[in-house]
């Protein structure tokens, strides 16, 4: 552990620290952010009403629309001249959402990421290849500063440029790779194509996140690269990568509770749910100066677990993100989460973890087509075998989702690979 005195803190001590920091944050928001002051007034709430950690649930929620309404700097709680950096989320529609950091914020973030890299077994002797995109996206620079903070050697290669990634990985003897899991898988396939043996290379661990992935994908990446692959979670609004990170036990991501207070709520009612329940993740930042957020609704669906972890860390763990409250597709009136289809595809074993869902509407009827790659070997097999796999998948998807889908098995490497987050759904109905 990089920060054993904190990561291994008793729950009681931690709650005390969290409460102290929460009060400071609440006051900061109230005094410096007109949006929050107005919300408090509207709710008849004063900072003094927050008398214990349990009063967290009295605080107002913040949602992504609040960020848009206050574009670009309206929610900042520090004067602009104290803000040393901004990031912005990709935002597929309209204006991006903008977040800001003071020098202290950047320092805490770097400490956090250093802690995450240490969780993957990293220290100053490591060579960390940062394959997350650099720029407004928080991935690249976020991980970069943390790796430097740890004292590791950083290769700031950013995303893309696959052959070059592989060349430098060998020449510079990279030990830890950081990128999206879909890109890691792609890199491992390209390596095989180019005859590069990553299993016997210096590479020992991967810190993968920024998009959902599965246990099967983890196994595939670990086998292809001969590494331990760990999940990292975060979102720009709350900080960026490093809000939570897996330890060597690979059984959920420890939420960095000295910086963020997590909650699970019922997305319909907003009611706080106990540990162990599935619901929407909500975070309150408790150290941030430039962009503090009270009870930010992530729309990510997960579960928080308080059972003690074998690694000795006392921070609660969150399960892999199981979907979002808003990526839900409604196909012929049925709620469909792409992750449900993903698990069917990954569990069946005959196909590769590369797929694309195409939703369309003709004559007022919705259709769902699932394109999925089969392995090289499989594709050269007889047609009958392929037909069997198609039939099996169609059947399984129908039984899980309750609607029929057209399955299209495609040749290996025909579904476009992404260098950042993978595109899994094309919904033509919106066009
Ligand atoms: P944007 O994608 O809008 O530019 P972010 O990069 O902040 O903004 O994206 C954050 C979102 O990415 C999270 O809310 C979550 O849905 C997803 N995400 C990040 N890390 C993970 C992870 N390890 N597993 C699953 N989803 C993740
Ligand atoms: Zn642990």
Give me the long-range contacts of 14-20 (CB less than 8 A, separation at least 24).
14/257, 14/258, 14/314, 14/315, 15/53, 17/258, 18/53, 18/257, 18/258, 18/261, 18/286, 19/52, 19/53
Q: Which atom of ligand 1 is nearest to the CA of 208?
A: 23
Q: Give distance in angstroms: CA of 186 to centre of ligand 1.
A: 19
Closest Cα to atom 27 of ligand 1: 211
160 vs 385: CA distance, rounded Å:
36
Ligand found nearest the CA of 230: 1
Indicate whether residue 142 lines ligand 1 (CB < 6 A). no
Rounded to the nearest angstrom, the gap between the alpha carbon of residue 305 and the centroid of all alpha carbons in its chain is: 17
Q: Give distance in angstroms: CA of 232 to centre of ligand 1.
A: 10
CATH, residue 93: 3.40.50.12780
Task: Return the structure tokens found at 168.
Answer: 């430098």
Beta-bridge mates of residue 272: 265
Q: Please indicate, yes or no, if residue 359 is contained in any of the structural domains.
A: yes
pTM for this one?
A: 0.84
Between 215-225 and 338-348, two packed helices, what is the crossing angle to 10 degrees? 50
Q: Please indicate, yes or no, if residue 69 is contained in any of the structural domains.
A: no
Question: Which of 326, 354, 377 is the endpoint of a domain?
Answer: 326
Question: Which of 326, 342, 364 is the endpoint of a domain?
Answer: 326
Indicate whether residue 180 lines ligand 1 (CB < 6 A). no
Mutation to probe ligand 1, out of 87, 133, 143, 210 (largest number of atoms < 8 A from CB)? 210
Q: Please answer whether residues 290 and 98 qualify as being in contact, where contact means their C-beta atoms are separated by less than 8 angstroms.
A: no
Indicate whether residue 351 lines ligand 1 (CB < 6 A). no
Closest Cα to atom 3 of ligand 1: 89
Looking at the structure, do residues 264 and 298 belong to the same domain, yes or no?
yes
Per-residue pLDDT of the chain (431 residues; tens, 9 = 90+): 999 999 999 999 999 999 999 999 999 999 999 999 999 999 999 999 999 999 999 999 999 889 989 999 999 999 999 999 999 975 434 577 899 999 999 999 999 999 999 999 999 999 999 999 999 999 999 999 999 999 999 999 999 899 999 999 999 999 999 999 989 998 999 999 999 999 999 999 999 998 888 898 899 999 999 999 999 999 999 999 999 999 999 999 999 999 999 999 999 899 999 999 999 999 999 999 999 999 999 999 999 999 999 999 999 999 999 877 877 777 877 778 788 888 888 888 788 888 999 999 887 778 999 999 988 888 777 888 899 999 999 999 998 888 899 999 999 899 988 888 788 899 898 65
Looking at the structure, do residues 201 and 223 belong to the same domain, yes or no?
yes
Which range marks the domain in which residue 405 is found?
A: 334-427
Q: Which atom of ligand 1 is nearest to the CA of 235?
A: 7
Looking at the structure, do residues 275 and 423 belong to the same domain, yes or no?
no
Looking at the structure, do residues 314 and 346 belong to the same domain, yes or no?
no
Looking at the structure, do residues 400 and 303 belong to the same domain, yes or no?
no
Looking at the structure, do residues 217 and 341 belong to the same domain, yes or no?
no
Indicate whether residue 284 lines ligand 1 (CB < 6 A). no
Q: Please indicate, yes or no, if residue 35 is contained in any of the structural domains.
A: no
363 vs 62: CA distance, rounded Å:
40
Q: Please indicate, yes or no, if residue 17 is contained in any of the structural domains.
A: no
203 vs 174: CA distance, rounded Å:
6
279 vs 295: CA distance, rounded Å:
14
Rounded to the nearest angstrom, the gap between the alpha carbon of residue 121 and the centroid of all alpha carbons in its chain is: 20
Task: Return the structure tokens found at 21.
Answer: 């920091």
Q: Give distance in angstroms: CA of 247 to centre of ligand 2.
A: 5
Indicate whether residue 97 lines ligand 1 (CB < 6 A). no
Q: Please answer whether residues 277 and 264 qualify as being in contact, where contact means their C-beta atoms are separated by less than 8 angstroms.
A: yes
Task: Return the structure tokens found at 31.
Answer: 């005094």
Which residues, at least 6 apart from 431, have a Cβ–Cβ distance to it below 8 Å?
none
Q: Which atom of ligand 1 is nearest to the CA of 232?
A: 23
Looking at the structure, do residues 230 and 95 belong to the same domain, yes or no?
yes
CATH, residue 415: 3.30.300.30
Q: Give distance in angstroms: CA of 308 to centre of ligand 2.
A: 8
Q: Please indicate, yes or no, if residue 52 is contained in any of the structural domains.
A: no
Ligand found nearest the CA of 249: 2
Looking at the structure, do residues 227 and 295 belong to the same domain, yes or no?
yes
Q: Please indicate, yes or no, if residue 70 is contained in any of the structural domains.
A: no
Looking at the structure, do residues 216 and 276 belong to the same domain, yes or no?
yes
Indicate whether residue 18 lines ligand 1 (CB < 6 A). no
365 vs 294: CA distance, rounded Å:
42
pLDDT of residue 25: 98
Q: Please answer whether residues 342 and 355 qualify as being in contact, where contact means their C-beta atoms are separated by less than 8 angstroms.
A: yes
74 vs 77: CA distance, rounded Å:
9
Angle of CA points 268, 428, 426, to nearest 5°: 75
Tell me whether strands 323-324 and 329-331 are parallel, antiparallel or unpaired.
Answer: unpaired
Closest Cα to atom 5 of ligand 1: 235
197 vs 174: CA distance, rounded Å:
13
Closest Cα to atom 12 of ligand 1: 210
Q: Give distance in angstroms: CA of 99 to centre of ligand 1.
A: 15
Mutation to probe ligand 1, out of 116, 321, 323 (largest number of atoms < 8 A from CB)? 321
Looking at the structure, do residues 171 and 286 belong to the same domain, yes or no?
yes
Q: Please indicate, yes or no, if residue 48 is contained in any of the structural domains.
A: no
Rounded to a whole number, what is the distance in angstroms from the first to the last CA of the chain?
50
Residues around the ion ligand 2 (C-beta < 5 A): 247, 249, 309, 311, 313
Q: Give distance in angstroms: CA of 231 to centre of ligand 1.
A: 12
Question: Which of 261, 296, 326 is the endpoint of a domain?
Answer: 326
**Number of domains making up the chain:** 2
| Token pair 């740890």: residue | 150
Looking at the structure, do residues 195 and 317 belong to the same domain, yes or no?
yes
Q: Give distance in angstroms: CA of 97 to centre of ligand 1.
A: 13
Q: Please answer whether residues 180 and 140 qualify as being in contact, where contact means their C-beta atoms are separated by less than 8 angstroms.
A: no
pLDDT of residue 38: 98
Q: Please indicate, yes or no, if residue 296 is contained in any of the structural domains.
A: yes
47 vs 34: CA distance, rounded Å:
14
Looking at the structure, do residues 226 and 356 belong to the same domain, yes or no?
no
23 vs 293: CA distance, rounded Å:
13
| Token pair 């440029």: residue | 161
């Amino acid at each position: 552990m990089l920060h054993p005195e904190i990561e291994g803190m008793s729950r009681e001590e931690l709650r005390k620290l969290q409460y102290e920091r929460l009060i400071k944050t609440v006051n900061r928001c109230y005094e410096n952010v007109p949006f929050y002051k107005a919300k408090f007034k509207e709710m008849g709430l004063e900072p003094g009403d927050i008398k214990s950690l349990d009063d967290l649930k009295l605080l107002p929620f913040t949602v992504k629309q609040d960020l848009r309404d206050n574009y670009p700097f309206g929610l900042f709680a520090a004067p602009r001249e104290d803000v040393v950096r901004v990031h912005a989320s990709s935002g597929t529609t309209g204006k991006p959402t903008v977040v800001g950091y003071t020098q202290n914020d950047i320092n805490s973030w770097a400490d956090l990421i250093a802690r995450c890299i240490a969780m993957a077994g990293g220290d100053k002797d490591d060579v960390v290849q940062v394959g997350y995109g650099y720029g407004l996206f928080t991935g690249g620079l976020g991980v970069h500063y943390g790796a430097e903070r740890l004292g590791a050697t950083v290769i700031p290669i950013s995303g893309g440029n696959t052959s070059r990634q592989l060349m430098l990985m060998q020449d510079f003897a990279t030990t830890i790779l950081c990128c999206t899991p879909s890109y890691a898988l792609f890199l491992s396939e390209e390596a095989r194509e180019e005859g590069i043996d990553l299993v016997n290379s210096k590479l020992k661990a991967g810190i993968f996140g920024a998009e959902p992935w599965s246990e099967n994908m983890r196994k595939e990446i670990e086998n292809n690269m001969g590494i331990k692959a760990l999940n990292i979670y975060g979102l720009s609004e709350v900080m960026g990568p490093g809000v939570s990170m897996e330890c060597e036990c690979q059984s959920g991501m420890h939420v960095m509770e000295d910086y963020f207070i997590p909650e699970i709520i019922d997305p319909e009612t907003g009611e706080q749910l106990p540990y162990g329940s599935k619901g929407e993740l909500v975070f309150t930042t408790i150290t941030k100066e430039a962009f503090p957020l009270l009870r930010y609704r992530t729309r990510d669906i997960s579960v928080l677990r308080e059972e003690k972890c074998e690694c000795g860390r006392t921070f609660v763990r969150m399960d892999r993100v199981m979907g979002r409250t808003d990526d839900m597709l409604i196909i012929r009136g049925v709620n469909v989460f792409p992750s449900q289809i993903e698990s069917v595809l990954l569990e069946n074993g005959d196909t590769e973890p590369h797929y694309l869902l195409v939703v369309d509407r003709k004559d007022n009827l919705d259709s769902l087509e699932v394109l999925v790659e089969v392995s090289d070997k499989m594709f050269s097999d007889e047609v009958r075998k392929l037909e069997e796999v198609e039939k099996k998948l169609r059947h399984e998807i129908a039984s899980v989702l309750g609607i029929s889908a057209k399955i299209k098995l495609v040749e290996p490497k025909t579904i476009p690979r992404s260098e950042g987050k993978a595109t899994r759904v094309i919904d033509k109905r919106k066009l």
